[in-house]
A and B are shown apart, each in its own frame.
Chain A
């Protein structure tokens, strides 16, 4: 349906901070394509990926978790161009969704995660941790929606975002949206944006660690939270290394 697809605009809350021009150039096909993944009852799946490149990218994943299933997803957005990762999740009874995301980079690009977690049935749990490290005029965004259905009692959902801006001009946007229709649930969300701790950097210098290495260690520590739940140590190392190597372009 080439001509009938509705292109997003910034008036749409989910696209407010997006690099719409770059994503539109991908064409309406890309904007209509979702990767569908279904997890059977009790099934566990873990997926770690690195996305982003020299041209804009849009990734859309729709996860459906049956009773007691567990999906773990860890994503680093580290390319030079704008990149948007959208994840929609539906959790049946007692299912768990674990999400760790990191955006890192400079230039003018917009790197963002847009998640929507639907706690459709009771006793589902979800945990999302996103970290954004940016410089130049780049931005990192996390738009996270959590829906808790009327009878999804004992839902336990958490969302945590932290942005680290290495230069004036960079930005981070966090938009947590919680829609809760059940009354016996836990939903936690937090968002902070800050700069490198200069005292920590000086403390490192006083022990002989040069500024670039100090920055790498501090960024590594900062990003670590997003990947700590990734149990495969090699995969964790691969994602972290990619992110830290991207830091090479920072001031």
Chain B
């Protein structure tokens, strides 16, 4: 589903990804762990097409398409969802308006009919309920005045509404208390644990992986994947630390 081959990328002339190769087939949740500065967020942003993140080599194939050829909004229409580590505040735009515009823009990009206001609200209510997010919050401005936990829950509601084929979740667990972590983890399971979907789950900690059981775990260090294993690798990292595990690699 997602096939990254020998990817190199830089920011401001500084090379961050150094020949990263990774494949995530449909039906798989693949966790990426790694020390600070390894390039985890850079990988997420490169996949999401953020301006300033320049790909200097390699390729990314997504559902048979050249992902790197697409503009950021086209990537979303193609089924890619990027969960932000720091969701962005947009004063003056309500969540409802933002998500309805987003969903209808994606539907248009796929040649589908737009949803009416009523249809959209019904969908939003259902997904908000799933993540125990008050519908009133969706009437508020995008992420403005939300706590860290609320922002991450709102990201999950967005994911539920947009219903992507593939999600790249960049430290969705950071800033969450234990209850919120469980809600978000179960949200990921409910929305994305399907045979035709895939997830790249970037995280620092084992905690989220106890709820969202990954099929595979890879360690990213110095801009490349240095080790891939089963879910037990996450536990090993937790017990022994990155240095010890990477020394084995």
Contact = CB atoms under 8 A, between A and B. Distances in A.
**A and B pair up:** yes
A185 interface: no
Q: Give the interface residue-count category, chain A.
A: 20 to 34
Interface string B91-120: 111000111011101100100000000000
A230 to B, nearest CB: 15
B90 interface: yes
A221 B88 CA distance: 15
Nearest to B141: A221
Contacts of B50: 202, 206
A172 B214 CA distance: 53
A220 B89 CA distance: 15
Contacts of A209: 73, 98, 101-102, 105
A205 B50 CA distance: 9
B76 A206 contact: yes
Contacts of A221: 90-93
Interface string B59-89: 0000000000001110111000010100111
A206 B81 CA distance: 7
A30 interface: no
Given A205-B71, A221-B93, A198 B87 contact: no
Interface class of chain A by DSSP: helix
B158 interface: yes
Contact of B77 (A203, A208, A211, A213): A208
A208 B97 contact: no
Nearest to B159: A207
Contact of A217 (B72, B77, B97): B97
Contacts of A198: 51
Interface string A61-74: 00000000000000
A200 interface: yes
B162 interface: yes
Interface in A203-234: 203-211, 213, 217-218, 220-222, 224-225
A1 interface: no
B48 interface: yes
Contact of B162 (A199, A208, A210): A208
Contacts of A211: 71, 73
A217 B98 contact: yes
Nearest to B82: A206
Nearest to A207: B102
A225 B91 CA distance: 10
Contacts of A222: 92
Contacts of B87: 203
- Most B CB within 10 A of own CB, among A203, A209, A213: A203
B41 to A, nearest CB: 13
Interface string A133-152: 00000000000000000000
A4 B97 CA distance: 56
Nearest to B143: A203
Contacts of A203: 84, 87-88, 90
Nearest to A223: B92
Contact of B90 (A200, A208, A210, A213): A200
Given A198-B51, A213-B105, A217-B97, A207 B76 contact: yes
A125 to B, nearest CB: 25
B103 A218 contact: no
Contacts of A225: 92
Contact of B51 (A202, A204, A224): A202
Contacts of A204: 73, 90, 98, 102
B105 A208 contact: yes
16 contacts: A202-B50, A203-B87, A203-B90, A205-B72, A206-B48, A206-B84, A207-B73, A207-B98, A207-B99, A208-B73, A208-B76, A208-B162, A209-B102, A217-B98, A222-B92, A225-B92
Given A207-B73, A208-B102, 8 more contacts: A200-B89, A202-B50, A204-B90, A208-B73, A209-B98, A210-B71, A211-B71, A218-B90
